[in-house]
Amino acid sequence: MQPLNPLDPPQIPDPPDPDPLAGASSSVPPDPPPMKAVPDPPRRQPAKLLTQTRPRVTPVVANRPARQPQPPPVPVGDPLAGVVNNAGGDWLTYETLFNQGKFRKTNQSRRMGQYRIGMSHVKIWVLEDIEDARLLELCDAFFPDSEPAEIRSLSAEAHPWQQQAGVAPSLASSPDIMASARPLHNLYLEPFVVMPYNYKDNDDESRAIGTKATTTGGVRLKQLTTEWDMWNTASRSCVVKLLRVKEKDAEWTPLDKVGDWDWMWAAGDSLTNHLAEWSLGQHFRLSNSDKCYSVKTGVCWIGTNPQKGANAGNKDLLDDNTIDACLRSDYIGAIDKAVGGGGKNDPDLLILKEVLSISEDLTGKRTNHKLGDGVQVRDLSALDKAKIYFPPLSIPFVGKDFKLHHERYAGLKRDPAMQFFWRKAYAERVGVAKALLLIRYGLQLGSPNAQNFLIEMNADFTSTGRIVMRDIGDAQLHREVAWALFGPPNEDPPTGLDDAWPQLAAGFTRARNPILNFECTDLLDLKGYIMETGVFDPSGAYGRQTGVVFRFHSFSTLTKGASVATATGSTDSDVRAEGWPLVLEMMADWGRAHNLAFVDTIETCLGVTVTGIDWHTLPDPARYLMLDSDEYARAGEYYAEDLAWEEAAGARVQALVASPAGRQAIRDYRTRGWRPPQRTI
């Protein structure tokens, strides 16, 4: 008799044991049982890391009479529902219009302002393995008076983990007032950097560089008359078509704005009539994306939602966090190059890397930061123009045709086939992608929100199985996996917090890994801490758990029981809409599918088993369906159970990858070129 799939509708069992991973009749010791060898799994194609079939689970659920609610009527209130039809499956139309009302933006093109700043006042970083054609496009746009080799050299000079190459440009410049007669002087004209400014999503109180004519460090800027075309994404980034503003060595004077520093403030999308705009035909299409990049700047507004200040996340500043994206992008590129895998041809995971960062240099400017605000640029050329890229944040707004705009969750509440499709195409595939990020690179996303991913689809809206991961600057180092990849193979990783970082740096130095050595020395000095989820997350912003973290219920889920329990108009006005128990049941169902896929990917790729997880104790998603429509607090309690089980399961995976046998399995996986072990006969 074939075992049943654990994702089949479950039966109602007895109440749970105190340990969320413990069986009904026995307890699990504090530490997982010793890892035991299992036969090598069957050889699989890389794109088919599917959930393995496990024995039927007996999920945990309170003993209450089962009640299956009727599908609610279609609510009325969203003016886009039933009207907006994204017939071409355009990525940015999904992100901007198929979104919650307060985060909704126009999908039409807008203009991005420009100003110039002296090159001596900024730190420049370019991706070490950037393609020559990409670098030339960036130099034409941002450094019109410089050559690519000069920019490479400046990047290597500012970021010591990069190899020195090229000749740095002379940054000497003459003062504005000369002390003696002109014939007695040599004049030096400093090269300038063109910087973009998103005045659409800022206001005059923004702290973003470019808001004022003088920067935080006291540098005077010059506003330009030129602009670039841009299209909003769901976050701070915009897709921008980069063009050269001037020919090399041509005068700046005709481009300089005369008069007071002035931007035409739009202050977000508070006055935008999305219904009137959606069919104007100025939306972004990936098929016409030559010279287009994702450009990230500080903003005050995302849609109509304020973003400035500590209470709103300080989104009007990029600040010194830009260096995290630089490190991560070079780190991932170096591993891909060494292994010979990854990159745009990987069938499971595509990571969009940052290719350029420009930050104001505040060194010695009597400030606590050495790097000021700036701009980040992400490469989009790895996206396949023949494919459709669907942002998971838009899942609640589409039905089975993937095109017509629905009221939030209206399509999902009525269509079990769509619930199953997104479980497979989103939850499971993101579980695979997160697991691969961990065991290939020793990284985990701090906040793997739905907007950090794209689901790659064919032209007929079938999933290819590949997940696109972006905002890689949010990725945090996992100590034990990074040590398995790059530490001395015969040494255990150091333990502890502050006292361990010098030992980590020494170990990575012996392994000749300059990127991780920089992180444990210079970056520690620059920021005062390292976001290292294997041991330590000092802010607590991503939860208090350390080690391996799945983070589906805490971040990747689209609606949480905790949000239902604490909902106010300022957080999510729709979270308690009619039928909310069914939505939470879907999210919990997707969560356990995600966690199964995560664990199965670890086991398949490494050829080992994760012990100590009793899958019979998975909390039953169907318990949400038994809630009355006003049992909000109970929804929060159920969410806490889901989260506790997920974190306990993550601790079991942590025990495996942190063990000597687990670290050796990770090294073997890398040596095999990221292929699962072959089955022996």
On whether residue 502 sits in a domain, the answer given is: no
C-alpha 529/C-alpha 563 separation (Å) is 30
Residues 43 and 107 in one domain: no
Summarize pLDDT for 636-676 with one digit per residue, the tens.
999 999 999 999 999 999 999 999 999 999 999 999 999 99
**What pLDDT, on a 0 to 100 scale, did the predictor assign at position 679?**
66
On whether residue 308 sits in a domain, the answer given is: yes
Closest C-alpha among 542, 521, 518 to residue 531: 542
Distances in whole angstroms, Cα of residue 211 to Cα of each of 227, 263, 369, 414: 15, 8, 19, 47
**What pLDDT, on a 0 to 100 scale, did the predictor assign at position 680?**
54
On whether residue 501 sits in a domain, the answer given is: no
Residues 112 and 223 in one domain: yes
pLDDT along the chain (681 residues), means of 10: 36 41 40 36 37 40 43 61 94 96 93 96 95 96 96 92 66 50 54 97 94 94 97 96 95 93 88 88 94 96 87 80 89 93 92 96 68 94 96 95 93 90 98 98 93 96 97 92 90 84 83 84 80 73 83 93 80 83 96 96 96 91 95 96 95 96 96 86 49
Q: What backbone torsions phi and psi does residue 562 show, to the nearest 5 degrees?
A: -65, -35
**What pLDDT, on a 0 to 100 scale, did the predictor assign at position 498?**
75
Asked if 371 and 319 count as a contact pair (C-beta separation under 8 A), the reply is yes
Residues 16 and 98 in one domain: no
Residues 210 and 68 in one domain: no
Residues 647 and 674 in one domain: yes
Residues 367 and 416 in one domain: no
Distances in whole angstroms, Cα of residue 503 to Cα of each of 438, 483, 498, 535, 609: 22, 11, 10, 14, 30
Asked if 327 and 523 count as a contact pair (C-beta separation under 8 A), the reply is yes
On whether residue 328 sits in a domain, the answer given is: yes
On whether residue 499 sits in a domain, the answer given is: no
Residues 96 and 73 in one domain: no
Residues 309 and 343 in one domain: yes
**What pLDDT, on a 0 to 100 scale, did the predictor assign at position 19?**
53
Residues 124 and 269 in one domain: yes
Asked if 439 and 602 count as a contact pair (C-beta separation under 8 A), the reply is yes
**What pLDDT, on a 0 to 100 scale, did the predictor assign at position 439?**
97
First to last CA, the chain: 24
Q: For the chain, how many structural domains are there in total?
A: 2
On whether residue 15 sits in a domain, the answer given is: yes
Q: What backbone torsions phi and psi does residue 506 show, to the nearest 5 degrees?
A: -65, -40
Residues 219 and 343 in one domain: yes
On whether residue 678 sits in a domain, the answer given is: yes
C-alpha 606/C-alpha 675 separation (Å) is 9
**What pLDDT, on a 0 to 100 scale, did the predictor assign at position 287?**
94
C-alpha 209/C-alpha 401 separation (Å) is 43
Q: Which domain holds residue 253?
A: 91-171+185-378
pTM of the model: 0.87
**What pLDDT, on a 0 to 100 scale, did the predictor assign at position 37?**
36
On whether residue 103 sits in a domain, the answer given is: yes
**What pLDDT, on a 0 to 100 scale, did the predictor assign at position 664?**
96
Residues 411 and 374 in one domain: no
Angle between helices 479-486 and 632-658 (to 10 degrees): 20
Residues 72 and 116 in one domain: no
Which residue, 378, 396, 431, sits at the end of a domain? 378
